[in-house]
């Protein structure tokens, strides 16, 4: 008999005021509810106890592997690429007679093992909690290797894997696992990640690392909760929820997913998954025990739902569309006190990775004023209308974001300009207007002044959170709008990349009259060992005249360069900001100006994942080639390929010649739309060399 699908408007069940400070025991709360037992009858392997702590209307399923002859009697077993079938074993187990073992062969996927709800007498639910114990047996990963361990959940379809677009009707998924990244405590443990296909992702799956470890060669408790987004008239709201706990610790949470637009695309199933990207794991295995599922809510002791009905300044993520802007306050590793002034309305919400902060106090007078204390490593979230006019924080946050744009707290006074000490500051006598009205593409600008500078609503200009001010140095962009700033002193440097025009005190100016077009210097210092790198800026980059970079580095585009260095230095001039710095191999010292930087701070992990290599090492002469990509493409030194300046990359199209005994290589994402080759060179395509994909 099929169950009624839990309503999408229902809040998660359980205790709303649980602090989550106590770890729930492995088997203290998940026993089969009476309703589930009645529907399933007395199917072997499904417990029939109805315990305390199970919310009314929740179906809870506990799978006892000892009651089955093979894994295929529990799960839909499919896509076994290793050739080694999953099996039940008697050791190791975690308090039971039988555990489930899936063994790797090389770098192949073991199998999907899906507990499909409709095949077990349920409708597709909108809300599922599951837990299991995991023993990673003999697994050792190389740097950046990943292992996926579980589908939570999987709704099969073209939009659930393999790079397909997720449109709300054709499947979606979330695979969880561990990876050798984020300072993993390797080889004893590797950090947890979430990898999801949802409606708002770009390219392949949405890969999100955490710093919470899963330990090797011992039992770990993994818990997860997923609630589908609400929807109406085929439109999905941004209020889908995913939460994961590792060994009792909340490791990951997002509350803004869009997965589905229809009830036929709700949760199809959950279950084990073994998928390695990277190392050869032959002989290693993933072992599972105590797999338990709750349909329709979170068991008591695991419900961290904020008290929406009790706090008038707190709103659910689904109310986001009622406000113009969203704010994320990510705290550092120390407790912080902060205050935010808004000339409009502001409310707290646990959207995205934000969690409820009970210390938040919001007062409304001339401004809406937020006062809060942020615990170490926490994230606070807000929706607001109007503009932020002042921010004070001690210590400053590790990151502050407004509607997707990173914001620098130092750009704002501690108090509004018409109050306190700010009212006594010397006025800024000059104004610079960057005018993008009527232009068809983005213009990036950068300037320096000899005094102070502040954003201004002059001449119809908008005040954009993404425009950055560091002392008298400003970086921003316009596209069909105007930005303005008031400043003191003289305009000393000005660079504009794009069609926008600039006026100072109402008079048009030529950026070429103000200092160097490429005002910043990037320096890579060799340390005796070969290091290969790629660098990208959000302006323009060029080698320096007379420097080794002229002969030894390569300009892949106006904003991207690459090279290999062993000794000496490579120097580049650039405008804008350093957007990305990636060591493809090795690692050494990097400087911007006279300040040493950590390249990891400029590498968000979003790199082109695939490689194509045109191999002339066994050819009898040069080979001409051309190809087109339906994504992005840049030259690469992968597999020690040469970087020929005559090989041309124009947008997503490539033309080149590979000589005999040489290799040409390119990084790309997406798919190869067209390829031609004149000659006998070989062509090799490597998928997911530098990232995770299905």
What are 553-588's pLDDT values in tens digits? 988 777 788 889 998 889 898 887 787 788 888 889
User: Which H or E run contains 635?
Assistant: strand 633-636
Q: 173 Cβ partners below 8 Å, 6+ apart?
A: 151, 153, 154, 155, 160, 161, 196, 197, 205
Give the sheet arrangement for strand 453-456, strand by strand. Answer: 453-456, 482-487, 430-435, 501-504, 507-509
Pairing of strands 346-349, 314-315: parallel
Query: pLDDT per residue over 606-650, tens digit each?
Result: 567 888 999 988 888 888 888 989 888 877 767 767 666 556 777
The pLDDT of residue 195: 95
Q: Where would I find the beta strands (DSSP E) of 228-355?
A: 231-232, 235-236, 240-246, 249-257, 269-277, 285-295, 314-315, 325-330, 336-342, 346-349
Query: pLDDT per residue over 361-417, tens digit each?
Result: 888 777 888 989 998 888 899 999 988 999 989 888 988 888 877 888 888 888 886
The pLDDT of residue 295: 92
Mean pLDDT of 6-32: 26
Mean pLDDT of 480-487: 84
Contact indicator for 635, 643 with CB cutoff of 8 Å: yes
Contact indicator for 180, 141 with CB cutoff of 8 Å: yes
Query: pLDDT per residue over 288-302, tens digit each?
Result: 999 999 998 887 666
Instruction: Tell me phi and psi for residue 639, to 5 degrees.
Output: 60, 35
Mean pLDDT of 150-170: 90
For 228-237, 298-307, 632-641, which range has the lowest pLDDT when averaged over its residues?
Answer: 298-307
DSSP 116-171: ETGGGT-PPPSEEEEEEEEEEES----TT-EEEEEEEEEE-STTSSTT----SSS-
d(CA 119, CA 305): 31
Query: pLDDT per residue over 28-55, tens digit each?
Result: 222 222 222 223 333 344 443 333 334 4
Instruction: Tell me phi and psi for residue 216, to 5 degrees.
Output: -85, 150
Q: What separation in angstroms does the CA of 148 have from each of 10, 44, 69, 436?
A: 30, 29, 26, 46
Q: 504 Cβ partners below 8 Å, 6+ apart?
A: 430, 431, 432, 433, 491
Please count the other Cβ atoms lying within 10 Å of the Cβ belonging to residue 185: 12
Query: pLDDT per residue over 264-291, tens digit each?
Result: 999 999 999 999 998 899 999 999 999 9
Q: What separation in angstroms does the CA of 96 have from each of 27, 63, 210, 216, 287?
A: 11, 11, 30, 20, 13
Contact indicator for 489, 474 with CB cutoff of 8 Å: no
Q: What separation in angstroms does the CA of 368 have from each of 329, 342, 388, 544?
A: 17, 5, 10, 50
Q: 661 Cβ partners below 8 Å, 6+ apart?
A: 616, 617
Q: 3-state DSSP call for residue 381?
A: strand
Task: Report the candidate in 439, 576, 412 with the shortest Cα–Cα distance to residue 494.
Answer: 576
| Exposure string for 16-32, b = 16+ CB within 10 A, e = fewer | eebebeeebebbebbbb
pLDDT of residue 199 exceeding 90: yes
Structure-block tokens of residue 180: 């050798």
Q: H helices of 485-563, where?
A: 549-552
% of the chain residues with pLDDT over 90: 30
Q: Tokens 């008290």 — which residue?
A: 307
The pLDDT of residue 232: 85
The pLDDT of residue 301: 61
Q: What separation in angstroms does the CA of 549 have from each of 210, 525, 579, 612?
A: 36, 11, 19, 25
Q: 48 Cβ partners below 8 Å, 6+ apart?
A: 32, 37, 42
**pTM value > 0.75:** no
Q: Tokens 């106006």 — which residue?
A: 558
Contact indicator for 173, 211 with CB cutoff of 8 Å: no
The per-residue pLDDT of the chain, averaged, comes to 81
């Amino acid at each position: 008999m099929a169950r009624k699908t839990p309503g999408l408007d229902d809040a998660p069940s359980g205790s709303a005021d649980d602090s989550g400070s106590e770890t729930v025991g492995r088997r203290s709360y998940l026993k089969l509810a009476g309703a589930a037992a009645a529907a399933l009858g007395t199917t072997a392997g499904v417990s029939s106890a109805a315990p305390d702590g199970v919310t009314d209307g929740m179906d809870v399923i506990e799978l006892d592997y000892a009651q089955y002859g093979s894994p295929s009697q529990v799960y839909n077993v499919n896509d076994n690429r290793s050739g080694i079938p999953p099996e039940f074993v008697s050791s190791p187990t975690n308090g039971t007679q039988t555990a489930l073992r899936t063994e790797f062969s090389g770098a192949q996927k073991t199998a999907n093992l899906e507990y499909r709800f409709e095949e077990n007498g349920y409708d597709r639910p909108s809300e599922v909690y599951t837990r299991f114990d995991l023993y990673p047996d003999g697994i050792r990963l190389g740097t950046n290797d990943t292992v996926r361990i579980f589908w939570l959940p999987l709704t099969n379809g073209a939009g659930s894997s393999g790079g397909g677009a997720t449109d709300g009707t054709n499947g979606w998924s979330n695979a969880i696992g561990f990876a050798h990244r984020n300072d993993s405590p390797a080889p004893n443990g590797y950090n947890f990640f979430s990898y999801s296909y949802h409606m708002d992702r770009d390219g392949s799956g949405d890969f999100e690392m955490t710093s919470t470890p899963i330990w090797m060669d011992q039992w770990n408790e993994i818990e997860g909760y997923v609630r589908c987004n609400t929807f109406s008239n085929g439109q999905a709201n941004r209020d889908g929820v995913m939460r994961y706990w590792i060994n009792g610790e909340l490791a990951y949470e997002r509350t803004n997913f869009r997965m589905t637009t229809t009830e036929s695309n709700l949760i199809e199933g959950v279950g084990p998954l073994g998928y390695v990207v990277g190392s050869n794991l032959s002989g290693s295995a993933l072992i599972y025990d105590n797999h338990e599922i709750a349909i329709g809510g979170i068991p008591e002791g695991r419900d961290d739902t904020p008290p929406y009905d009790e706090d008038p300044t707190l709103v659910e993520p689904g109310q986001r569309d009622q406000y113009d802007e969203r704010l994320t306050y990510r705290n550092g590793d120390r407790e912080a006190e902060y205050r935010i002034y808004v000339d409009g309305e502001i409310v707290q919400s646990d959207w995205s990775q934000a969690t409820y902060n009970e210390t938040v106090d919001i007062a409304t007078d001339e401004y809406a004023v937020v006062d809060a204390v942020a615990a170490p490593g926490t994230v606070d979230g807000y929706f607001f209308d109007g503009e932020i006019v002042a921010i004070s924080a001690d210590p400053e946050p590790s990151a502050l974001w407004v509607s997707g744009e990173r914001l620098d707290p130092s750009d704002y006074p501690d108090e509004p300009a018409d109050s306190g000490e700010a009212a006594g500051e010397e006025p800024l006598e000059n104004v610079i207007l960057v005018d993008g009205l009527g232009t068809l593409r983005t213009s990036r600008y950068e300037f320096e002044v000899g005094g102070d500078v502040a954003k201004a609503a002059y001449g119809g200009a908008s005040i954009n959170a993404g425009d950055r001010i560091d002392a008298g140095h400003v970086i921003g962009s316009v596209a069909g709008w105007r930005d303005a700033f008031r400043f003191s002193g003289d305009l000393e440097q000005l660079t504009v990349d794009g069609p926008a025009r600039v006026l100072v005190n109402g008079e048009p100016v030529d950026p070429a009259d103000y200092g160097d077009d490429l005002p910043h210097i990037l320096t890579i210092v060799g340390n005796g060992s070969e290091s290969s790198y790629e660098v990208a800026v959000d302006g323009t980059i060029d080698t320096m005249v007379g420097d080794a970079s002229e002969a030894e580095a390569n300009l892949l585009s106006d904003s991207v360069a690459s090279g290999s260095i062993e000794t000496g230095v490579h120097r580049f001039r650039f405008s804008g900001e350093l957007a990305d710095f990636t060591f493809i191999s090795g690692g050494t010292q990097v400087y911007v100006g006279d300040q040493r930087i950590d390249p990891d701070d400029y590498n968000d992990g979003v790199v082109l994942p695939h490689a194509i290599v045109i191999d002339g090492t066994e050819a009898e002469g040069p080979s001409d080639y051309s190809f087109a990509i339906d994504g992005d493409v840049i030259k690469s030194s992968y597999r020690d390929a040469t970087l020929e300046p005559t090989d041309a990359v124009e947008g997503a199209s490539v033309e080149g010649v590979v000589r005999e005994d040489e290799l040409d290589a390119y990084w790309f994402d997406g798919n190869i739309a067209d390829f031609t080759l004149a000659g006998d060179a070989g062509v090799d395509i490597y998928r997911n060399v530098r990232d995770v994909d299905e």
